[in-house]
Structure 1
Amino acid sequence: MLIVVSIYLAIRCHLLQVYNYLRQRNKLDEIKNEKHYSSRSEVIRDAIRAYLSEYEISNFEKGNLTANPILLFGKRYLVQWPH
């Protein structure tokens, strides 16, 4: 009986993995077609880029900002202050 239950659970786990894989693949195909990507790989790459950008922004918002303003100009843009 224990062996049958173990086999049943293993098969069920495998079927759930297959189902989740197919569901995710279908979702990737929907995004690919909707956004006119050439492949699922391109969808995944774009998603990773977006995630990393948001991650960097969230880290930036949490931390302190130290900035050094730099002004670049040429001679013709110098303002003559009255003496």
Structure 2
Amino acid sequence: MFSTYEAVYKHGMLKWIDERPEGNCLRVMVTVLEKEKDTAEFQESIEELLQRTKGIVKPPVSRDEIDRDIATMRSEWNREWDR
């Protein structure tokens, strides 16, 4: 069974914030969660985002257009073994 305790790791030592795990000989597995950077510097308005990403997504192509492109490519295909 796992229990969660909060501690601060500083200079090789864990300083328990609230309660401390009981026992004298414990196997402690540590997950490090770094403090996130200030997200204010990454904030961007919706208008700026849309302007920056404008034109990335191509307009949809109809099935007829795809079939026409395939037919054109097939007609241009030079197969040496058919001669």
TM-score, structure 1 length as denominator? 0.23
Greater CA radius of gyration, 1 or 2? Answer: 2
More helix by share: 1
More strand by share: 2
